[in-house]
């Protein structure tokens, strides 16, 4: 899917229509984070501090006009983090998917579920830079480790894991 505000949601909607999944876990990159961050909240705001890959930089614009201010993930974020940690990797619950294209996709995904696919569960995970992308001394994770973490998160979803009653989360 392109990292572009104007086209990402069209690609997402087309893929969902083609596959009709029970659950969708979208993935994006968040440089500077040390582990996988399972997002719990998507906000209805595009406010890009940098331009997307098409050169667009929306400021203070709704992702979906007239939609709610925010949506929560419908996947078990805390259980997914527990599974990531059980795989020996760093993971955390995040309460801010930002205001760039990742949040745009997450909010659009949740809105699509609310309005057209109410049985579809969905969420979003941010992954860190790979070592070859990261500046010196910045946190990073190998692509193999990211794949293991995502597999653990997906296994928790597939197993129907329930949210553990633990305090989790941070704002980025």
Instruction: Give me the active site residues, please.
Output: 39, 102, 126
Q: State the CB neighbour count (10 A cutoff) for residue 68.
A: 13
Helix, strand, coil percentages in the chain from 3-state DSSP, rounded to 5: 30, 20, 50
With beta carbons less than 8 A apart as the criterion, state whether 24 and 13 touch: no
With beta carbons less than 8 A apart as the criterion, state whether 158 and 98 touch: no
CA gap 157, 141 in Å, rounded: 22
With beta carbons less than 8 A apart as the criterion, state whether 126 and 25 touch: no
């Amino acid at each position: 899917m392109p990292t572009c505000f104007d086209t990402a949601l069209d690609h997402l909607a087309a893929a969902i229509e083609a596959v009709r999944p029970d659950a969708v876990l979208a993935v994006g990159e968040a440089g500077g984070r040390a582990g996988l961050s399972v997002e719990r909240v998507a906000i209805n705001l595009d406010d890009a501090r940098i331009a997307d890959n098409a050169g667009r930089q929306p400021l203070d614009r709704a992702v979906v006009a007239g939609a709610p201010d925010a949506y929560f993930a419908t996947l078990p974020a805390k259980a997914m983090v527990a599974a990531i940690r059980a795989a020996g990797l760093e993971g955390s619950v995040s309460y801010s998917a930002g205001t760039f294209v990742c949040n745009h996709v997450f909010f659009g995904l949740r809105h699509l579920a609310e309005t057209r696919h109410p049985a579809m569960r969905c969420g979003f995970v941010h992954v860190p830079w790979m070592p070859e992308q990261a500046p010196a001394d910045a946190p990073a994770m190998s692509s193999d480790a990211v794949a293991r973490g995502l597999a653990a998160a997906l296994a928790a979803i597939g197993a129907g894991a329930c949210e553990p009653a633990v305090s989790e989360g941070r704002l980025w």
